[in-house]
Amino acid sequence: MQAHDVMTAKVVTVGIETGVREIAGLLLKHRISAVPVVDADRRVLGIVSEGDLMRRGENETERRHSWWLEAVFSTSNGAERSIKSPGRKAADIMTRTVIAVAEDTPLFEIAELLEKHHVKRVPVTRDGTLVGIVSRANLLHGLAAKGSATAGTGSSDDRAIRKNLLDTLSNEAGIDTSLINVTVSDGNVHIWGIIGSDVKKTAARVAAENIPGVKSVENHLRQIPGWVWAQ
């Protein structure tokens, strides 16, 4: 299996002008640990992680502290001053040296990169343009589907099934596929992620069963009510 067999294609991203309050909200809403920073052409400029938010001080000589928590959750004057501090935008806090992979990078190589660089996810790029992201969870999904990260690459039929199902979930079932992952091995489909209702969980299973070429469906979706992340 390769990156494009397990990657999340609908990637949550921010721009260099995105504020830390909005970034923190996105991480919480989408249950993710980092967001790529991209330009208008979706070229990756950097990445902002939970660690970048929590380590950023008002200046680099001060004791590092989680000032952003105060900025996000407090309405005090001190919080307002923090929001106006130099570290208020993605450009000010992002990690600029980004470890990225290509669509055809084998999963075992991605696993080695995550381990070597102590990161939880890597962007997937095509000619410098963001096309997806692979997280530790995505790797585990691939392992569960294939049985081994060193197994052969997925077939073109499996990739067609995966694309067809993700398109159907997004366009017809109204499911946010940034919270969903699909892996396909020899026509056997595994659906992972979180869903807002039992109805949509069932809809995802039925959609998969109706895709030509699908032999079996394992629905691992976890139901989390929408009010949990409602704002």
Rg (CA), the chain: 19
Write the pLDDT tens digit of every residue in 19-33: 998 999 898 888 888
DSSP state of 86: T
Q: Is 5:129 a contact under the CB 8 Å cutoff?
A: no
Are 11 and 133 spatial neighbours (Cβ–Cβ below 8 Å)?
yes
Q: Cα separation of 226 and 132, whole Å?
A: 25
| Tens digit of each residue's pLDDT (9 = 90 or more) over 118-171 | 888 999 999 989 999 998 888 888 877 765 434 445 578 999 999 999 999 989
Amino acid (1-letter code) at residue 188 = N
pTM of the complete model beyond 0.75: no
Torsion-angle region of residue 128: left (phi > 0), alpha (psi -120 to 50) or beta?
left
**Residue 109's pLDDT is what?**
93
Task: Give the pLDDT means over successive 10-residue stretches in the chain (231 positions).
Answer: 90 94 88 92 93 63 46 50 59 92 93 90 93 90 63 72 92 85 91 87 93 92 65 46
> One-letter amino acid identity for 89?
K
Domains in the chain (CATH in brackets) are: 20-134 (3.10.580.10), 155-228 (3.30.300.130)
Query: Between helices 198-209 and 156-171, what is the axis angle to 10°?
Result: 140
What pLDDT is stored for residue 71 in this prediction?
52
